[in-house]
Amino acid sequence: MLGRRQKWDKVAIIFILPWFIFFCSFTFYPVFTALLVSTNEWNLFEGTFRWIGFSQYLKLFHDAKFYQCLWNNFVYLGIQVPLSIFGGILIAVLLNQKVKGRIFFRGIFFLPIITGIVVLVIIWSWMFSAGGGVINYFLGKVHLPPVPWLIDPRWSMPSIALMKVWTDVAFYGVLFLGALQGIPQSLFEVAKIDGASQWHIFWSITLPLLNPAIVFAVIMGTIWGMQIFTEPLLMTEGGPLGSSTPLTLFLYRQGFTWGRYSYACAIGIVTSLLILLFSIIERKFIERVTLY
Amino acid sequence: MKKLKRRTTSTLIMAVLLVTVFVTQAGAVDWLAEEDISNMPSTTIRYWYYETPEMTALGKLEKEKFEKLFPNIKVDARTAPPAVDNWELMSFVVGGTNSHIHHSVNNESLWYIDHDMLFPLDRLPGFAEELNRFEPQMTWKWKDGHSYALPWYGATTMLMYNKEIAQEVGLDINNPPEFYDEFLKWAEKLTEKDASGKTVRYAAAIDPREAWWRFIITGYNLYIAATGSGDYISEDGTQVTVADTPLQRKPFEFIYELVEKGYFTNEIYKVNPVYGGLTAINWNFSAETIFDVKRNAPPGFEYFLGPYPRPKESPVERFVGRLFVRELVLMRERFLRGEAGDRVNRAAWEYMKFLEADEQLAGMFKAEGMLPCIKTFETDPLFTAEIEKYGAPLGQLLEARSGAVHMDLNSVKTTEVQGALTLLIVKLQQGVDPAEALAWAVEEGNKILAE
């Protein structure tokens, strides 16, 4: 018995080893190095470290720019995550109907995910143009004033979040469609026999059974939202006046533009801890309000 | 007796060692001082092509040509990774994969010198003759008595006006505005509103994005035109001086006025808005724009150039703008020591000289419109035939270049202060009062300098 177990362990180790090496090289080692660098002054050329304690963390907690960037992330999360998930559920429910050409529509809705980010940024920048953009054109058609989407500090981050809603709705749509198709049809049939309305079925059966997928979507949406980088860098460079600078772009500029490695690592560590904290809170909260 | 034996033995060993070292050294070649490297043992250097497709294609041809001239030198070449400057370059330097010849600029080069990353070119054969080929105005003098860079191309910018729009609104295209009051009158005429009062064409656009270098495009030229100088930090390096005098404050007040009056927009355009008539003035016309016009402007598009406007009290005459010089520096070989390292540094110098040779500079000018910094640029037939093709705009740019102020970013801190000055312009665009915006920029800049 013991011999078999030992043999199984060796096989398991062989299977786990590639992932373990990858994890140590690209997760554990960078996190450890980031912790080390955040508490030391690092001479890159000599490879030497000088202990500076937690001064960079103290500096960070007194830096108004850090709070501005954190707020920007909150604005982004507050718009992007709920709208994407809501839109995703809506699309999934629609695509789950037995309508003609639903395979085609599934493909169409998936297109934003496979489109390159630079292409999306260029197209959306045109669409967001305050003077000649298509969005303001349609707003004008319904007698609404033009919005300075990317060039006004109040609108820059919401604009980026809206653009990301468009791409992420597709992803969440596919996610929820998979979850929907996993729900036993018998539950819907029984509800129909009992005379439940479509809305009642959705509220009492579909939504509660989608809950695990929603928990996943909210947590992953938050993690990805905290990591937003390319879109603000390409669309606004974090402006105007830092209004669309997320923590990741703040970190990047401190580290790679101004060479403040210790400070950048401190930002990275704090951001990671914030993501962890948000994920725990969200999980506890959503699991508590589960409807079944 | 034993002691004597031991002493004799150690003396003999020492003597053998000394003789060996002497013989080895006597036979060794000091490659750093060697004029001709055609008999150098096989050596490999690394080089990154400039990022654009045209320059990469040119770079490949140059590599082939050089390797034919020096079959013993291999150029391990690749296209430069995007936006690799200063700290971004460090991973390549520490990993030993960076280009031995780096396309640099003065503020970056000084930072590299501080970190002992550059090889002093004046220690290499033929440097004095090489340096003498370039316009002194475009050649940087380094602080510690050594020269570390050769100018590669030098650019200046002017204002580009859409000719059709200017004529349509009745402006004299032969006399573009020079002073603020004239420019304001032009800006008013070039700005167009529809019947509902909505602006359908702005005089110009100033990009509101926040990369630190945007100030160089948006405000620096106006600042130089107003003050005649590119300095914005005190000589002792402790204070930002951008708001010290009324003349220094003028360009910022001017930008505020242009935005406030609705002549300038802060819209972000992905294509030059002057081509389609969305704006009438391009704020940053360079020799490369001549190529861009050919590629992207609609057929029949015509333009003319003008100077950056200045206040009447400005000490400068006609055109003064910034001169940007891209230079080549030799990144010291860090991993190979002794003779092997010397060979790489020397071979890289040979390649740098090759890249700076007239033929290669002409190729670069033809490919991308980068203006070489050599003294003979406007007289050598190799270049003049090409210059003539581009007509009056290039002539005006060259004239402007001769009087331009070399962009003075002489430390990383001065660069970082430009980040604050970029935000100053964005604040003005957002309607912040110039006095308040300037006070903020000075305070922010002083904080950076005090760090």
pLDDT of A159 reads 96
Residues B110 and B250 in one domain: no
What is the C-alpha to C-alpha distance for residues A266 and A40, in angstroms, rounded to an integer?
A: 10
Chain A: residue whose CA lies nearest to B424: A241
Interval B422-440: pLDDT, tens: 999 999 999 999 999 999 9
Residue B426 touches chain A, beta carbons under 8 Å: yes
Sign of CA dihedral A80, A125, B87, B59: positive
> Residue B423 burial by CB count (10 A; 0-12/13-18/19+): exposed, middle or buried?
buried
Contacts with A151 from chain B: Cβ below 8 Å: 208, 266-268
Contacts with A130 from chain B: Cβ below 8 Å: 265, 267
Interval B341-391: pLDDT, tens: 999 999 999 999 999 999 999 999 998 889 999 999 999 999 998 888 888
Separation in Å, CA of B436 to nearest CA in chain A: 15
Q: Is the pLDDT of residue A2 over 60?
A: no
Contacts with A234 from chain B: Cβ below 8 Å: none
Look at B87 and A255 and tell me if their CB atoms are within 8 Å. Answer: yes
Q: Is the pLDDT of residue A6 over 70?
A: no
Residue B447 touches chain A, beta carbons under 8 Å: no
Residues B317 and B331 in one domain: no
**Better-scored residue on pLDDT, B168 or B16:** B168
Look at B87 and A239 and tell me if their CB atoms are within 8 Å. Answer: no
Instruction: For residue A34, give Cα distances in angstroms to A37, A260, A263, A264.
Output: 5, 12, 10, 9
Considering the domain delimited by A56-288, tell me its CATH architecture. Orthogonal Bundle (1.10)
Q: For tokens 């963390």, what's the residue?
A: A57
Lowest mean pLDDT among A93-97, A174-178, B57-61: A93-97
Q: For tokens 């996993």, what's the residue?
A: A182
- Torsion angles phi and psi, residue A246, rounded to 5: -80, 175
Q: From the candidates B84, B114, B268, which should be mutated to test the interface with A, based on the most A CB atoms within 10 A?
A: B268
What is the C-alpha to C-alpha distance for residues B355 and A260, in angstroms, rounded to an integer?
A: 34
Residues B218 and B341 in one domain: no
Lowest mean pLDDT among A42-51, B98-107, B183-192, B294-303: A42-51
Partner-chain residue, chosen from A132, A150, A258, that has the shortest CB–CB distance to B278: A132
Contacts with A242 from chain B: Cβ below 8 Å: 210, 423
Task: Give B363-368 contacts, CB < 8 A, sequence gap 24+.
Answer: B363/B58, B363/B61, B363/B62, B364/B55, B364/B58, B364/B153, B365/B153, B367/B54, B367/B55, B367/B57, B367/B58, B368/B50, B368/B52, B368/B54, B368/B55, B368/B288, B368/B291
Q: Is the pLDDT of residue B25 over 90?
A: no
Residues B185 and B260 in one domain: yes
Residue B87 touches chain A, beta carbons under 8 Å: yes
Q: What is the CATH number of the domain that holds B422?
A: 3.40.190.10
* Domain boundaries along the sequence of chain A: 2-38, 56-288
Q: Nearest-CA neighbor of A183 among A198, A216, A205?
A: A205
Instruction: Answer yes or no: is B331 within a domain.
Output: yes
Residue B239 touches chain A, beta carbons under 8 Å: no
Contacts with B196 from chain A: Cβ below 8 Å: none
Mean predicted confidence (pLDDT) in A118-124: 91
Partner-chain residue, chosen from B88, B94, B210, that has the shortest CB–CB distance to A44: B94
What is the C-alpha to C-alpha distance for residues B262 and B190, in angstroms, rounded to an integer?
A: 11
Residues B142 and B181 in one domain: no
**Better-scored residue on pLDDT, A144 or A7:** A144
What is the C-alpha to C-alpha distance for residues B94 and B89, in angstroms, rounded to an integer?
A: 9
Interval B143-165: pLDDT, tens: 678 999 999 999 999 999 999 99
Residue A130 touches chain B, beta carbons under 8 Å: yes
Contacts with B430 from chain A: Cβ below 8 Å: 152-153, 240-241
Residue A104 touches chain B, beta carbons under 8 Å: no
Instruction: Answer yes or no: is B60 within a domain.
Output: yes
Alpha carbon B273 to chain centroid, angstroms: 25
Sign of CA dihedral A101, A106, A107, A112: positive
* Tokens linked to B436: 């308040």
State the pLDDT confidence band at A292, using cuts at 50, 70 and 90: very low
Chain A: residue whose CA lies nearest to B420: A241
Query: Per the structure, how many domains does chain B have?
Result: 2
Contacts with A150 from chain B: Cβ below 8 Å: 268
State the pLDDT confidence band at B411, using cuts at 50, 70 and 90: low
- Within 13 Å and on the Cβ side, how many CA atoms surround B273? 25
What is the C-alpha to C-alpha distance for residues B353 and B132, in angstroms, rounded to an integer?
A: 13
Residue A232 touches chain B, beta carbons under 8 Å: no
Residue B416 touches chain A, beta carbons under 8 Å: yes
Look at B267 and A130 and tell me if their CB atoms are within 8 Å. Answer: yes
What is the C-alpha to C-alpha distance for residues B381 and B279, in angstroms, rounded to an integer?
A: 38
The type of residue at B221 is: N
Instruction: Answer yes or no: is B186 within a domain.
Output: yes
What is the C-alpha to C-alpha distance for residues B352 and B348, in angstroms, rounded to an integer?
A: 6
Q: What angle do CA B42, B48, B54 make, to 5 degrees?
A: 120
Residues B274 and B407 in one domain: yes
pLDDT of B211 reads 86
Phi-psi region of B21 (alpha: psi -120 to 50; beta: other; left: phi over 0): alpha
pLDDT of B20 reads 61
Give residue B49's domain range: 43-147+324-356
Residues B304 and B219 in one domain: yes
Between strands A40-43 and A48-51, the pairing is: antiparallel
Chain B: residue whose CA lies nearest to A255: B87
Look at B267 and A256 and tell me if their CB atoms are within 8 Å. Answer: no
Q: Is the pLDDT of residue B191 over 90?
A: yes
Look at B115 and A45 and tell me if their CB atoms are within 8 Å. Answer: yes
Q: What angle do CA B65, B71, B76 make, to 5 degrees?
A: 70
Alpha carbon A237 to chain centroid, angstroms: 19
What is the C-alpha to C-alpha distance for residues A51 and B433, in angstroms, rounded to an integer?
A: 44
pLDDT of B230 reads 87
**Better-scored residue on pLDDT, A47 or B155:** B155
What is the C-alpha to C-alpha distance for residues A133 and B424, in angstroms, rounded to an integer?
A: 27
pLDDT of A36 reads 94
Contacts with B210 from chain A: Cβ below 8 Å: 236-242, 245
Alpha carbon B445 to chain centroid, angstroms: 23
Mean pLDDT of chain A: 89
Residues B267 and B339 in one domain: no
Residues B310 and B337 in one domain: no
Q: With contact defined as beta carbons under 8 Å apart, do B235 and B411 qualify?
A: no
Lowest mean pLDDT among B80-84, B133-137, B269-273: B80-84
Q: Nearest-CA neighbor of B293 among B203, B380, B394, B404?
A: B394
Look at B94 and A153 and tell me if their CB atoms are within 8 Å. Answer: no
**Last residue of some domain: B299, B332, B356?**
B356
Q: Is the pLDDT of residue A288 over 70?
A: no
Look at B209 and A259 and tell me if their CB atoms are within 8 Å. Answer: no
Residues B171 and B140 in one domain: no
A–B interface: beta-carbon pairs under 8 A: 68
Residue B271 touches chain A, beta carbons under 8 Å: no
Look at B210 and A129 and tell me if their CB atoms are within 8 Å. Answer: no
Look at B270 and A242 and tell me if their CB atoms are within 8 Å. Answer: no
Contacts with B427 from chain A: Cβ below 8 Å: 241
Residue B76 touches chain A, beta carbons under 8 Å: no
The type of residue at B349 is: W
Residue B310 touches chain A, beta carbons under 8 Å: no
Three-state helix/strand/coil letters over chain B: CHHHHHHHHHHHHHHHHHHHHHHHHHHCCCCCCCCCCCCCCCEEEEEEECCCHHHHHHHHHHHHHHHHHCCCEEEEEEECCCCCCHHHHHHHHHHCCCCCEEEECHHHHHHHHHCCCECCHHHCCCHHHHHHCECHHHCCCCCCCCCCEEEEEEEECEEEEEHHHHHHCCCCCCCCCCEHHHHHHHHHHHCEECCCCCEEEEEEECCCCCCCCHHHHHHHHHHHHHHCCCCCECCCCCCECCCCCHHHHHHHHHHHHHHHCCCEECCCCCCCCCCCCCEEEEEEECHHHHHHHHHHCCCCCCEEEECCCECCCCCCCCCCCEEEEEEEEEECCCCCCHHHHHHHHHHHHHHHHHHCCHHHHHHHHHHHCCCECEHHHHCCHHHHHHHHHCHHHHHHHHHHHHCCEECCCCCHHHHHHHHHHHHHHHHHHCCCCHHHHHHHHHHHHHHHHHC
Interval A190-204: pLDDT, tens: 998 988 888 899 888
Separation in Å, CA of A46 to nearest CA in chain B: 10
Q: Nearest-CA neighbor of B133 among B379, B441, B390, B422?
A: B379
Residues B193 and B296 in one domain: yes
Separation in Å, CA of A220 to nearest CA in chain B: 29
State the pLDDT confidence band at A150, using cuts at 50, 70 and 90: very high
Mean pLDDT of chain B: 89
Contacts with A245 from chain B: Cβ below 8 Å: 210
Residues B104 and B227 in one domain: no
Q: Nearest-CA neighbor of B73 among B64, B83, B84?
A: B64
What is the C-alpha to C-alpha distance for residues B293 and B276, in angstroms, rounded to an integer?
A: 12
Q: Is the pLDDT of residue B29 over 90?
A: no
Contacts with B270 from chain A: Cβ below 8 Å: 122, 125-126
Separation in Å, CA of A159 to nearest CA in chain B: 14
Instruction: Answer yes or no: is B365 within a domain.
Output: no
Separation in Å, CA of A123 to nearest CA in chain B: 10
What is the C-alpha to C-alpha distance for residues A103 and A24, in angstroms, rounded to an integer?
A: 41
Interval B248-281: pLDDT, tens: 999 999 999 999 999 999 888 878 899 989 999 9
Q: Is the pLDDT of residue B21 over 60?
A: no
Instruction: Answer yes or no: is B276 within a domain.
Output: yes
